[in-house]
Amino acid sequence: MLDDYLFHQNTAPFLARLLIQRFNIASNPAPAYVAAVANAFRSGSYSTESKIFGSGNYGDLSSTIAAIFLYREATSATVDGR
């Protein structure tokens, strides 16, 4: 039963949106941001220009957290109004 919950198609976007909100990155994240974090959760890897994060296994939280903090919406000064 737990595998059914973990591998359900809505689990990755649901967790992505909640984690983005809980880390106070964005209260209403853009769909592209949620999709990038969900893809990092599913694929188990996230790459920036110079580094690859994750082990390549489904549900790898290191790639998910890297996607949350390194995605362009999280690092953009325009979004924060700075």
Cβ-based neighbour number of residue 30 at 10 Å: 13
* pTM for this entry: 0.86
Look at the chain and report how many structural domains it folds into: 1
Note down the domain range covering 45: 2-80
pLDDT one-digit tens code per residue, 4-49 = 888 999 999 999 999 999 998 888 899 999 999 999 999 999 999 8
Q: Measure the CA–CA gap between 65 and 26, rounded to whole angstroms.
A: 14
